[in-house]
Structure 1
Amino acid sequence: MKRAIITGGASGLGAACALRLRADGVEVITFDVSTEADYVVDVTDQQSIDDAVATVGPVDILVNSAGIVGPNKPFWEVQPEEWQRTFDVNVHGIFRVTKAIVPGMVERGWGRIVSMASMAGKDGNPNLSAYSASKAAVIGLTKSLGKELAKTGVLANVIAPAVIETPFNATTSPEVLAHITSLIPMGRVGRAEEVAALVSWLSSEECSFSTGAVYDISGGRATY
């Protein structure tokens, strides 16, 4: 049985991915700041990560789903601490967790890493500069990591969803949410289970010739 760690696994996209992977027969372990997770882990705290990873043991699949929206305001009003916090969770969190897990995957010769970015990381969403920039960083990180791991049996890919109906968007202002939903040609937001189905394939043996790739799930919003 394959074993997966899902960060941000207690709610939203992470919880949907946990549900789907368990249905696929994967042993799923959730990391989250919520006490409803299997392990209470703060992705901004290296010791918290290292302790949990050491306890869990060998991992075959890593889904990096922990993230925050960050400040909803014009770029010039964003405070340095807000910018730093957004990057610390959305980018540095992925760096910390992935760095803790990749060596074991490489040693065993098999692994799947799926990270959550966003259409914001490709298009840039107004009044979400920190979030957009952080998700662009996740895309760049994954493209580089995929190339580095290409001959190891470990694949790293990234998903760029448009707006998905999750509690995550409760912290996005209604005006911003309305704008980014209006950009979707299908005229609706996505469902968490639709993203989880893509994660299921990217985490599987069937996905064998894709790494360092960006998978849009955007209802037609994506233009490149």
Structure 2
Amino acid sequence: MPGPFENAPLDGKRALVTGSSSGLGEGIALRLAQEGAAVCLHGRNEERLAAARERVAQAGGEVHAVSGSLSDDESAAGVFAGAHAALGGIDILVNNAGGESAGTGTMPWFDVDAALWNKAYNSNVGSIVRLVRLAVPGMRERGWGRIIQLSSESADFPMTVIPDYQAAKLAIRSLTRSLAMALSRTGITSNSISPGLTHSDGPDRWLKSMAKAQGWDDDWASITAHVQDGMISNFAGRIGEPADIAHVVAFLADPRAGFINGIDIPANGGR
């Protein structure tokens, strides 16, 4: 089906976007659909997933959805099989799904025990490894593919809270680089994006909890002002939106971006 834009660059491409039942992932899926790709959304809550599918479908084109966990090999294989059956193959894999840190991002370093560190690593890194191993054979066979990971600027600006999450997000960048090396000369690229603070379910909950802990007014204008006054300031002077990150994903997924490989792009407003 032709994409909604004339000469849509992703016509004929098929994309699986994990963790796309809301927020950032949904925004990414929407942009890829607008660029002409057939898209499969993924999430664990079927009601939210169905609602997101309906919203993305309004952009035009082919939209599917598959539910399930990525926390173990069997469940991840089920998710991949469902997406593969719906799309007929996967050319673009966007690894957006990942677990949040313990305590909604406010638990002190020494309260995050080893089990929580392992859980964060499995959710953020293990989920990527499982899907990459499943997606790469088909991409190799076709001689083309795009694998895009979502890291985080928090890996560059660590705090004494969310240490498990920050470490896992930094590991994603190493994974991305080594994967690009392993896929050298195959026509498959591997890149990552490190968003700055961006409106989405997890970050918004964290900001609200931070506002409560600091005694700020809990409206977004007040929270944004406090953030920009020092906690997480950037040159853009605002918190990011899902569309800001989705534009970068679409750029990396474009066939014309084939000479960009093994890098991380900081999309953080110039922090």
Give the TM-score category using the shorter length. Answer: over 0.9
Aligned counterpart, 1:147: 181
Q: Distance in 1 between matches of 2:128 and 2:42?
A: 12
Query: Within the alignment, does 1:64 sit opposite 2:114 as a pair?
Result: no
Structure 1 or 2: more helix by fraction: 2
Aligned counterpart, 1:112: 146
Q: 1:91 aligns to what SS in structure 2?
A: helix
Q: Distance in 2 between matches of 1:135 and 1:10?
A: 21
Change (3 A) 1:97 1:10: same
Q: Distance in 1 between matches of 2:154 and 2:121?
A: 14
Q: Distance in 1 between matches of 2:232 and 2:110?
A: 25
Aligned counterpart, 1:135: 169
Q: Distance in 1 between matches of 2:153 and 2:164?
A: 14
Q: Distance in 2 between matches of 1:123 and 1:170?
A: 18
Which structure 1 residue ranges, 5 or more long, are not aligned? none
1:37-67 C-alpha deviation (Å, 9 max, x unpaired): 3111211022122123234242100000001
TM-score computed with the length of structure 1 as normaliser: 0.92
1:91-112 C-alpha deviation (Å, 9 max, x unpaired): 1111111111112111210000
Q: Which moved more, 1:140-149 or 1:70-79?
A: 70-79
Aligned counterpart, 2:77: 50
Runs of 4+ with deviation above 6 angstroms: none
Q: Distance in 2 between matches of 1:79 and 1:118?
A: 22
Which structure 2 residue ranges, 5 or more long, are not aligned? 1-11, 50-64, 214-222
Paired residues, number: 221
Contact 2:69–2:79 (CA under 8 A) maintained in structure 1 = no
Which of 3, 13, 16 does residue 2 from structure 1 map onto? 13
Contact 2:145–2:189 (CA under 8 A) maintained in structure 1 = yes
1:21-36 aligned at under 5 Å gives the runs 21-35=32-46, 36=48
Q: Distance in 1 between matches of 2:26 and 2:80?
A: 19
Q: Distance in 1 between matches of 2:107 and 2:66?
A: 33
Contact 2:76–2:127 (CA under 8 A) maintained in structure 1 = no
Contact 1:115–1:157 (CA under 8 A) maintained in structure 2 = yes
Q: Percent identity?
A: 32
Aligned counterpart, 2:237: 187
Report the structure number with the largest CA radius of gyration: 2
Aligned counterpart, 2:52: none
Contact 1:163–1:181 (CA under 8 A) maintained in structure 2 = no
Contact 1:4–1:61 (CA under 8 A) maintained in structure 2 = yes
Q: Distance in 2 between matches of 1:130 and 1:58?
A: 34
Aligned counterpart, 2:250: 200
Contact 2:151–2:195 (CA under 8 A) maintained in structure 1 = yes
Contact 1:60–1:105 (CA under 8 A) maintained in structure 2 = yes
TM-score computed with the length of structure 2 as normaliser: 0.77
Q: Distance in 2 between matches of 1:219 and 1:52?
A: 34
Q: Distance in 2 between matches of 1:188 and 1:196?
A: 17
Task: Using the TM superposition, give the Cα deviation of residue 164 of structure 1 relative to its aligned residue in structure 2, in angstroms.
Answer: 0.3
Give the aligned residue type for 2:34: A
Change (3 A) 1:128 1:150: same
Aligned counterpart, 2:196: 162
Q: Distance in 1 between matches of 2:244 and 2:237?
A: 16
Task: Using the TM superposition, give the Cα deviation of residue 181 of structure 1 relative to its aligned residue in structure 2, in angstroms.
Answer: 5.1
Q: Distance in 2 between matches of 1:145 and 1:45?
A: 20
Change (3 A) 1:80 1:4: same
